[in-house]
A and B are shown apart, each in its own frame.
Chain A
């Protein structure tokens, strides 16, 4: 009996390996290729209804002065305030690292796919710290370590307690991409905010420089 328990898993592993060899595929080959320039096709702001705000966030929104918006000083809006909608982005894909190059403000995100942990100390940032993995044909990204920032154009704030869980998958035979971002920010929202987006591949496209020059701020 004891011997049988030991041998049976080994047999399953052997059969699995045999099937993988016979089918001529490997796990690495099945990873979708998301690389390319993606043009936003979602409605402005994407889909998904913004949840009810906490009293603190509502008070900050009520008192919001558009002239206090950091983007006026050309501070990048960060992710996920900006990036997923309107402006295109490019994905550069390797086995261990994905790089998202957003046209807006030239923002860059690095998504570590090598299983690493964040460093012992990492300053909170506008783009956060992102790690990703594949679940079947779906890319899953978890982002934490956000600095407090303005989260929407109309003045909703997040207070540095935000985490974002994204999922991306190819559609339309690889010519389209759909994604979602689940934003959890207990200081801001009474419930998580699920935003949804779509893109289409621009095979001949490119990302243009879009650097904001504070000299063009003329208020």
Chain B
């Protein structure tokens, strides 16, 4: 069921752009009443304040990579959670759960990340 939901969402997201950032309150951009999970391969980690970004390719049902973006907290909070450029590298496989963007972009506000070693970390 979850996979089907993701599939429907992906189909609805036509023309979604990965570049969609500015500092903002999370509530304005993301829908806290909905959660979504994705699994993919990390392509980039942008470790900047006040919000950091993790980009990954999520393979769709046809085997094609779709770029997704995880928006998350500041570098300091990520360091405390054990998520750093030393522990998360391009090529790593991760799962992520969070609130989807209100405007349908392939963008999640990251709440939980399953690291390459299988550790699950909650992100404030």
Q: Which chain A residues have a beta carbon within 8 Å of chain B's beta carbons?
A: 39-40, 44, 66, 69, 71-72, 74, 86-88, 103-105, 153-155, 205, 207-213, 216-219
- Are A210 and B49 interface neighbours, CB within 8 A? yes
Residues of chain A lying within 8 A (CB to CB) of residue B75? 208, 210
Task: Spot the interface stretch: B3-11, B15-23, B88-96, B113-121.
Answer: B15-23
Q: Which chain B residues have a beta carbon within 8 Å of chain A's beta carbons?
A: 19-29, 48-50, 73-77, 79-80, 124
Given known contacts A210-B50, A212-B49, A69 and B24 CB-to-CB distance under 8 angstroms = yes
A74 to B25, alpha carbons, bound, how many Å?
A: 11
- Are A217 and B22 interface neighbours, CB within 8 A? yes
Given known contacts A207-B76, A208-B76, A154 and B48 CB-to-CB distance under 8 angstroms = no
- Are A216 and B76 interface neighbours, CB within 8 A? no
A216 to B50, alpha carbons, bound, how many Å?
A: 9
- Are A104 and B74 interface neighbours, CB within 8 A? yes
Partner of A72, one of B23, B48, B74: B23
- Are A216 and B124 interface neighbours, CB within 8 A? no
- Are B27 and A209 interface neighbours, CB within 8 A? no
Q: Which of A69, A154, A210 has the most CB of B within 10 A?
A: A210
Ordered nearest first, which 9 A-B pairs have the shortest CB separation? A153-B25, A208-B76, A66-B28, A217-B22, A210-B49, A219-B22, A210-B74, A212-B50, A218-B21
Residues of chain A lying within 8 A (CB to CB) of residue B76? 87-88, 103, 207-210
Residues of chain B lying within 8 A (CB to CB) of residue A155? 28
Partner of A218, one of B22, B25, B28, B49: B22
